[in-house]
Amino acid sequence: MQDQFNGAVGADEARVSSTASAVLQALSGSDVRTDKVAALQQSIAAGTYSVPASDVADKVLSALLH
């Protein structure tokens, strides 16, 4: 591509700030454990996923007390 201002030929170039680089890096890295998510999805789809009632009650009470 020829630059219309100075006649130079080259590739397009973009520069980002260090903050933008950090944001891009944070967005590209994921804390999602895909293997665990896939296993949970399969259990839910098969109807075999269950949560003990005591665990649910503990979380409800904990949320209400905080």
Better-predicted residue by pLDDT, 18 or 52: 52
7 vs 65, more confident: 65
Look up residue 9 and give its DSSP letter. B
Confidence (pLDDT) at 42: 94
CA distance 3 to 22: 31
The mean pLDDT value for 11-27 works out to 75
Which stretches within the chain are classed as H helix?
18-28, 34-46, 53-65
Rounded Cα–Cα distance for residues 19 and 29 (Å): 16
Q: Is the pLDDT of residue 3 over 60?
A: no
Return the DSSP state at 38.
H
- Distance in angstroms (rounded) separating the CA atoms of residues 9 and 20: 28
25-39: average pLDDT: 80
